[in-house]
Amino acid sequence: MGAKLRVVRRRIRSVQSTKKITRAMELIASSRIVKAQTRVEASRPYAEQLTKAMEDVASRSTSIDHPLLEHREHATKIGVLVITSDRGLAGAYNANVLKIAEQHLREIRAGGKEPALYVVGKKGVGYFRFRGVPIRDSWQGFSEVPPYEKAEVVGRQLIKDFADETIDELYCAYTDFRSAFTLRATSKRFLPIAPEEVTGTARDTVPAEYLFEPEPAEILEHLLPQYVITKVYAALLESAASENASRRRAMKAATDNADDLIKVLTRQANRARQDEITTEILEIVGGAEALASAKEG
């Protein structure tokens, strides 16, 4: 009986230690969500102004001809950029985005086309390597706090591969951050850039009057790659915020489960202790009765 009580108490101490860890990780993730959300919101005005400037330049250009706008009729090589986390303990965050990526890869192969895989994050790299899926390029070590410099490295590599016709289209599978409670794994096309993104035909706006130096076409030559890099950076920021939100949710669930388990184990320990005390009392009473019987005899 005493051995059982020791085992239960040892389990209680173990769960309490785990609870401290999960609670600390929950608090850390909560603080990082605020910072990540701030970075997402801070990047949006830049992306909006860049898009607006690109539309204004395009409206003044007599012709828009750029490799990043080239729509290839017979696209056979499709690039897929998958953004995952470097660390685990984030619930279904990685599983959801990997499910979207796998579905996209199956559709590409079913259409008789060749996928080219680009992966951000150790979890995604490990997932595809374990399954023997070829990875064209990968980047790791910055999923929680992605710097713009890393987004530029990723973006320029994707632009180079598209310009070299290594890939004919590019899609990005990442997690869209709506709020701390609303996360959605999604896939969007990044390349080629849709004409309405450049010309603003999808918007009902009145263009402003500008004098351009150098010529609009030359300005557009620099803006379009920057636009793609900005889209990659926005996806990295959205994914980072989603990762921290998922980790906070997972760690809160783990902490709550630890509380519930501690209550169950405490009841077991109390019951074992009561059984132990009852057994001791019975032994004492039995001994006393034996002594009394011996004296009477």
| Residues 166 and 291 grouped into a single domain | no
Among 247, 265, 283, give the residue marking a domain's end: 247
Whole domain around residue 273: which residue ranges? 2-23+251-296
CATH number at residue 185: 3.40.1380.10
Mean pLDDT of 71-94: 89
179, pLDDT greater than 60: yes
**Percent of the chain predicted with pLDDT > 70:** 85
| Residues 206 and 84 grouped into a single domain | yes
Among 230, 247, 264, give the residue marking a domain's end: 247
Mean pLDDT of 272-292: 78
Among 215, 231, 247, give the residue marking a domain's end: 247
274, pLDDT greater than 50: yes
| Residues 147 and 275 grouped into a single domain | no
Supply the pLDDT for residue 67: 73
88-114: per-residue pLDDT in tens? 888 889 999 999 999 999 999 998 899
| Residues 145 and 280 grouped into a single domain | no
211, pLDDT greater than 70: no
Asked if residue 192 has a cis previous peptide bond (ω within 30° of 0), the answer is yes
| Residues 269 and 157 grouped into a single domain | no
pTM summary value: 0.79
Mean pLDDT highest for which of 23-37, 43-57, 241-255?
A: 241-255
| Residues 61 and 180 grouped into a single domain | yes
Higher pLDDT, 112 or 276: 112
| Residues 232 and 263 grouped into a single domain | no
68, pLDDT greater than 90: no
| Residues 93 and 17 grouped into a single domain | no
Nearest of 165, 151, 186 to residue 78 by alpha carbon: 165
Name which of 20-24, 64-68, 111-115, 163-167 the model is least confident about: 64-68
Name which of 16-20, 246-250, 259-263, 277-281 the model is least confident about: 277-281
State the Cα–Cα distance between residues 197 and 180, nearest whole angstrom. 29
| Residues 258 and 197 grouped into a single domain | no
| Residues 41 and 186 grouped into a single domain | yes
| Residues 59 and 36 grouped into a single domain | yes
| Residues 192 and 279 grouped into a single domain | no
Supply the pLDDT for residue 151: 92
Number of structural domains (the chain) is 2
269, pLDDT greater than 50: yes
CATH number at residue 290: 1.10.287
